[in-house]
Structure 1
Amino acid sequence: MDYPSLVALAEDIAARAGRTRVRDIIMVDWHQLFLRLDDVDVQISAHSHPNFMVLVPHSPRTSREYPFARALETHLKGTYLLRCSVREHERILRLSFGSVQGQIKRKFHLVVEIMGRHSNVILLDEDKLVLAALKENWDVSTARPLLTGQPYQFPPSQGRRFPDSPEDFRDGAVARRELCFPPWLIDYFCRYPEDFPAYRDALERRQFDFARVDTGGKLWASVVSLPHARTVETFDSVSAMVLGSAVEREESALERRRRRLVRRMEDAIVAQQAKMELLRRQLEQHGDTGALQREAQLIKDNLHRLRGGGRVRCHDYVHNTDVELELPRDILPRVYMEKLFRRIRKYHLSLPHLQRQLEKCKNSVTYLEQERYYASYLQSLEEVLHKERELFPRRGVTERPGKRSVSRERERVKKLDFRGYLLYVGLSSAANEKVTFGARPDDWWFHAKDIPGAHVVLACHNRPAPDEESMAMAAALAAFFCRNSSEDKVSVDYTQRKHVRKPAGTPPGTVYYTHFKTLLVGREQMDAARRFLESSSETVS
């Protein structure tokens, strides 16, 4: 959020939430909280991205236990919002709360610093002493330590000022360094300085016009209309504008991170395939060990007759024939024979290792191709980051296992009801493992033939044998959730769960199966599966 947006937000809070009572404090995660007032909620996000403060309607939210939330409940719950103000030319907003209990008057301040990755929320008492901070800083050597019980200090000022006239935008570099406007707005007024007086007057009179504008290929949130910018979308409040921009930025960050993850997976697949080609060439060399063995044995049998290198004639006692060999001239025949036997022994010892490495590379390529397909189903930036850390862990850094990673994987399982039968669809490798090996032996298992895709299980335990329509819908779901779902026809294998096995040491989601049959799923069936997904009431397990 920029300084003009905070000014508009302060006006909106004073108009809509002034003199209302704090009913509850809800903290949904470590850096995001909601102040529940009489009519609206004040949402504060101190994440490094996005960071904002808006007014949102009441809605059910689950609160989690945090020390800062307990401090806010102790001091602010039951108080009234008295005042909302913005520090001049800074992105710092202060909410003042107060209450009267008999002859005792209490007053508290909640300072919200919207400053990118340095965003913070600090609770102060009436004497401006720090009671609690969302992000504590106990390092007294820093420019501004945050110590409980000590006086609050504002962050070091950047020395910015509000522009006085269009002349302040003559030099863009100086304007970005000295003015309190966001860079995109400074660039706009550098191109159109004649628009600044009307913008300044609208801010002073608090005549806001919230919109998302296009200033030349990029979209920005503006609290005042700009004549030379194209209006893309309008909003009825600054909160709606800021929240929409934050969601859009989060979605764009999600897409960028997802594309980066897919790109890294594609590079890893290419690297693994190159390694597989190298291993195959090394395995091909083991096909020459028979010729090497015969040559070494011939030299050994005729060693008493050989006097040096060059072209020599040896007798093959196995086939009772004479064979000509070309021996090196720079070493003795005995030394050359020992060298051949050592080479053969090395090939024999390395053969199992090369086969294991080749099998490992094949499993890795299969797993990466599956995850590349499933990347499109990652719906939050947290899931993308978790998957990136799982696939490409940093050297020397191990992620501590916890319940959060388990819950992320559980969210990738779709549970559907079709004609009284439950259908389970896995949308990640770990979810596929859970769907497949959590099923009963007599359940039916479906998967696209030789293609990365979802494991689909048709649960029929203690039920009559499923009819053809239920089997066809399960096959259509397996075809719909596979990499080749855009094709007109997809082959789907199906078998009972008891015929599905997992090879030892393979990545999650890797299985082999027997006693299977194959169905050919057409485009109409996949479209029917899509319509079924849109109309069904999905449950998540």
Structure 2
Amino acid sequence: MALDGITLQALIQELEDLLPSGRIDRIVQPEPEEVHLIGRTGSKNWRLLLSAHAMTARLHLTKVNKANPAQPPLFCMVLRKHLEGGRIQKIEQIPWERIVMITIEGKDELGGRTEKKLILEIMGRHSNLILLDKKTGQIVDGVRRYSHAISRHREVLPGRQYLLPPAQNKVAPHPLTDEELAQILYKDGDKKVQKSLQENVAGLSPETAREICYRAELDEQIKVGHCGNYEFRRIIIALQELLQIFEEKDIKGKIYREGETLKTFSPWPLHHLSKVYEEEKGSLNETVDGFYLGKVDLEKRNIFRQSLQKKVAAEWDKLQRKQKSQEQDIEEAKKDLICRTWGDLIFTNLYKLQGGEEVFVATDLEKPEVSHTIILDPALSATENAQTFYSRYNKATATVLQATEQLTKTKDDLRYVSSVLTTLEQSETIEDLFEIKQELIQEGYLPREKEQKSTKKHSNKKKGQKDKKAAPLPEPLTILHPEGWTILVGRNNRQNDYLTMKVARDKDLWLHTKDIPGAHVLIPRRDGREIPLSVLEKAATYAAYYSQGRQSAKVPVDYTERRYVRKPTGAKPGFVIYDHQQTLWVNPQSIVEGSFQR
């Protein structure tokens, strides 16, 4: 969700309770278009984030302490010169617009009183953060500088007079009657009501316009020209409902997510997203901070995941080519296995061969109805030709044996790499990805990371002694079933091995998708009770969900007691063999948010 004018006004309401009279102690610029003002008001410390990023322009309080560049950017140095040690006088918003002005009182070089304005303009790719002198209205500097070569409306350069961005000529949402709304929107008769609301009423994002139409019980495809007095009245009522929430300061920030995807945030319930998981965060500042922090974490996770997927997929392609080559070698070698029969036929019929023949036709020794046409080397004697065929046969036998062993290993490697690709695709946290990375390093698919040399001058370690950090134990999902049973789910090969070989006991019930790479699932049975069918089926749906069969309608899941599960010597992580199994066919089912603990 874009930070619209209405939501911004609710944010500023919260900031007005904390920032005025607050002292700015420190200013940092951790990213090219993001500035943090760090200060305190009385005994309360705060960190105000102001971003002019094209995609994520915003302001809110944050608790995230980002790493700063070794050399502060020029704009940061300018802000430090004029604002550090100053006090915030007020924070205000141009009504319903996404422009925020923070007035800061400080001192000039001579110790005299001076006032500056820090202006955040949230306008997509035209967003900017500008410092200006309040008395003269001149720009001191901007995080983005540009001249008339970029904008015909204004220049953002030191010494230039500050001009507001071009007016959007939108009507304020309050006070607004249904007659006035109809008059404004009717010029957009062919547009959808949602889009027309967003383009003509100030402070509305697409998400807010969609919510207004939903609360007004209008179809999302309805056009302005199809609306009458009743529809416009419903729109005004829905709009007033939303405005009343923040006028009464009844803000309860919410974040909406669908699976891993963060959909949006809002200062009020979004009824049109009722089927999406809703998470209440408290204050709106905490909500916005949590939403964008989650977006950053998700982006980092996706980049990390894609990096690992690229390397593993390259290994998968390599193994596929290797398997195809080995299969071709076996097929070619098998063609020479007939050479033994040809050698036997030559020795059996030596009396018929005088030497110098190029072709010899003989009847099979075991099947008289079969005839063999044998191509001979006329430069060799019959005995030498027979020996040549025996040599070809021995070579083919060795090739088939060796290539078959290599093919078996290649198939095992391919099965393992396929399972890693599945767990990478289904990993839900950055910790899961780190576990998979460590597994790939241990298996030799990724190079080991070089150890950083210690910079300490004094060390108590003996010469040649290295620091050994114990790897943290894997953390399979722990699901608490309503009937009082616990279900454990391993989401990668390391967790699978730990769950099956370390945690499980003989009588525990173990589940895995039949002939499909996936999670090991365990139902501990500590008191000897029989596991109810409902619990078994629920565990089976989780096993199906965390497998390559996730998208299938029905997936076969095997279950057996842990005592019948074995790991072959030298087997890849996550690979086991088992027997005494029974099979359930289930529909893959995800774990409902909030129903498990890590």
> What is the TM-score when the length of structure 1 is the normalising length?
0.55
- The correspondence for 1:196, drawn from 155, 163, 173, is 155
Alignment pair present for 1:468 and 2:538: no
Contact 1:443 1:461 in 2 (8 A): yes
Tell me if 1:521 matches 2:586. Answer: yes
Describe the shift of the 1:412–1:203 C-alpha distance in structure 2 as closer, same or farther (beyond 3 A): farther
Pairwise mapping of residues 72-221 of structure 1 onto structure 2 (< 5 A)? 89-90=75-76, 181-182=143-144, 186=146, 190-196=149-155
The answer on 1:486 being equivalent to 2:554 is no
Shift of 1:412: 4.4
Separation in 2, partners of 1:359, 1:402: 39
Aligned to 1:218: none
* More divergent stretch after superposition (331-340 vs 475-484): 331-340
Note the 1:315-394 alignment, pairs <5 A: 325-380=374-429, 384=433, 387-388=436-437, 390-391=439-440
Structure 1 residues 354-363 or 234-243, which shifts more?
234-243
Cα distance in 1, alignment partners of residues 490 and 78 from structure 2: 46
Cα-to-partner distance string for 1:372-424 (whole Å, 9 max, x where unaligned): 221134345575466457537688755679987833x6234434344222211
Instruction: Quote the Cα distance in structure 1 between the aligned partners of 2:558 and 2:294.
Output: 41
Classify 1:287/1:92 alpha carbon distance in 2 versus 1 (closer, same or farther; 3 Å): farther
Deviations along 1:24-59, one digit per CA (max 9) or x if unpaired, are: xxxxxxxxxx99994236699xxxxxxxx996459x
What is the one-letter code of the residue matched to 2:355?
Answer: R
Equivalent in the alignment of 2:306: 259
Q: CA RMSD in A?
A: 5.3
3-state DSSP class of the match of 2:44?
coil
2:23 aligned to which of 13, 18, 25: 18
Deviation at 1:455, TM superposition (A): 1.1
Q: How many angstroms does 1:513 deviate by?
A: 1.4
Task: Report how far residue 283 of structure 1 moved.
Answer: 2.2
- Equivalent position amino acid for 1:436 in 2: T
Partner of 2:514: 449
Q: CA deviation at 1:292?
A: 0.8
Q: Deviations over 1:266-285 (max 9, x none)?
A: 34323322322222222234
Structure 1 residue identity aligned to 2:398: L
Match of 2:45 among 20, 24, 40: 40
Partner of 2:575 in structure 1?
510
**Residues 297 and 41 (structure 1), Cα distance of their counterparts in 2 relative to 1, 3 Å cut:** farther
CA separation of 1:367 and 1:195: change in aligned 2, threshold 3 A: farther
Letter of the 2:521 counterpart = V
Name the counterpart of 2:328.
281
Identical amino acids, percent of aligned pairs: 21
Alpha-carbon distance in structure 1 between the residues aligned to 2:421 and 2:475 = 18
Cα separation, partners in 2 of 1:241 and 1:470, compared to 1, 3 Å:
closer
Tell me the matched-pair count. Answer: 377
Contact 1:17 1:39 (8 Å CA) reproduced: no
Q: Between 494-503 and 317-326, report the one with greater CA deviation.
A: 317-326
Partner Cα distance (1:234, 1:417) in 2? 32
> Structure 1 247/476 Cα, relative in aligned 2: closer, same or farther at 3 Å?
closer
- Which SS does the other structure have where 1:411 is aligned? coil
- 1:251 partner letter: L
Q: Deviations over 1:201-220 (max 9, x none)?
A: 6699xxxxxxxxxxxxxxxx
Q: 1:347, CA displacement in angstroms?
A: 2.7
Q: 5+ unaligned residues in a row in structure 2: which ranges?
A: 1-16, 27-37, 50-58, 66-71, 86-129, 133-140, 165-201, 208-264, 268-282, 452-465
Deviations 1:134-175 (A, max 9, x none): xxxxxxxxxxxxxxxxxxxxxxxxxxxx999xxxxxxxxxxx
